[in-house]
Amino acid sequence: MVRAKEVSSRELLDGYLDRIERLNPAINAVVTLDVERARAAADAADAATARGESSGPLHGLPTTIKDAIATEGIRSTGGAVELRDHVPTADAPAVARLKRAGAVVFGKTNLPRWSGDLESFNEIFGTTNNPWNVERIPGGSSGGAGAAVAAGLTSFELGTDIGGSVRIPSHFNGVFGLKPTFGVISQRGYLDHVDGGTIDVDINVFGPLARSADDLDLLLGVLAESEVPAAKSSTLRVGTWFDTPSCPVAADYRALLVSAADRLADAGAKVEEAHPPVDFDAQVMLFSNMVLAAMSPAYPPDVADAISGTHHQWIRNDIERSRLKAIWAEWFESFDVLLCPVTLTAALPHLQGEFAARRMTVDGVDRSYLENVSWTGLIGVIGLPSAVPPIGRTPEGLPVGVQCVTAWHRDRTAIEVARRLGTYDVPPGF
């Protein structure tokens, strides 16, 4: 539409700003705006359009960025009071790529302190709500990103994911998200502690959230720093893993997962209940150990030392990870994609306080809140790509998604499966 001059970049930007003014107070997704510089950038994009010029595939598209990602000239806090007034002088490489492709960055979205929670709240900006039900969480840590995309407050979003932080907000808010193959998109500029962003963090990735699989594919092409092969075009071989005794999903959610797999089968895919021969609990425990070490710089030194373990322990864990990668690689020689849950339920009611002490109810059974990152941690610890499309809504009207997991660097095939399964719907009132 911008290319065809059906709408200008300035009109798009002002449209989003109007929606933020009217609709953001109910969900508190967008927490910082940079209006004047964004209007200048939009006007410059429109002037280029008038000359028949384009800066790239995102030319003139206004967007927001998760507040854990360094953005030049815009307050970027990581959700931490220590960075309350932090204004970076340079963009994270991923943000720079978006801008070079023509995007107009006009604001930042909310998150938990140091991206370390499923609730998106912090002392600076308060709590973000789910646009489908403001009594529910939008997920985390890219919760503001997921809510903003779902509510139509931005063209798309750039989030981060170390334990599910793109995938869970996509699942809870009914949007599309991609956790890319580890290392495909630069994660420098990640504000996960004071002085963060100068090294790559184990397990962590940057990934896009959007309202369609086509947008994910477009954004992957802009953001990727290495070549990602085209999606597989022949008949898909699909495995499903919807059950495990230690981490069962809610019945209403499981029914929607099965229905999604059935749709693929009806469309010609070869679908069967199958998954790599790994111990679910052992691989999730490996994730727990390694993610604690990766996130330890966010904690006081004594706590960080206690949870991170020794370097020798990390090496032993990395050796075990290498063994598991070989098992998954062999399985993906026979299958193109694995479908599995994102969390155990649809979006949960708001619940704050100490993360490890929280409890939740799944089909009437009291369970640990920590189980919400089991299915995402299973995939994240070995760096596999996972696209999450919205696949339907529970009887309560809450959207849910599914992880479409593929072999390393087969991100576009994961997106293609998401395209076949998912449809974005506008939350009521938005």
Among residues 8, 9, 120, 141, which one is catalytic?
141
pLDDT in tens, 283-326: 999 999 999 999 999 999 999 999 999 999 999 999 999 999 99
pLDDT in tens, 37-73: 999 999 999 999 999 999 999 999 999 999 999 999 9
Could you confirm whether 141 is annotated as catalytic? Answer: yes
pLDDT in tens, 176-197: 999 999 999 999 999 999 999 9
Question: What pLDDT score does 232 carry?
Answer: 93
Q: What backbone torsions phi and psi does residue 425 show, to the nearest 5 degrees?
A: -120, 150
Q: How far apart are CA 337 and CA 401, in angstroms?
A: 15
Q: How far apart are CA 349 and CA 332, in angstroms?
A: 37
Confidence of residue 381 (pLDDT cuts 50, 70, 90): very high
Among residues 9, 66, 99, 142, which one is catalytic?
66
Q: Which among 343, 391, 295 is positioned nearest to 136, based on CA atoms?
A: 343
Question: What pLDDT score does 288 carry?
Answer: 97
Could you confirm whether 108 is annotated as catalytic? Answer: no
Q: CA 81, 87, 91: angle at the middle one, nearest 5?
A: 125
Q: Do 128 and 138 form a contact (C-beta atoms < 8 A)?
A: yes
Crossing angle for the helix pair 411-421 and 213-223, nearest 10 degrees? 160
In the chain the domains, ranked by start, together with CATH numbers, are 9-223 (3.90.1300.10), 237-421 (3.90.1300.10)
Average pLDDT over residues 273-291: 98
Q: Which residues contact 110 (CB under 8 A, 6 or more apart)?
A: 28, 29, 30, 31, 67, 79, 120, 121, 122, 125, 126, 128, 143, 144
Among residues 165, 186, 308, 386, which one is catalytic?
165
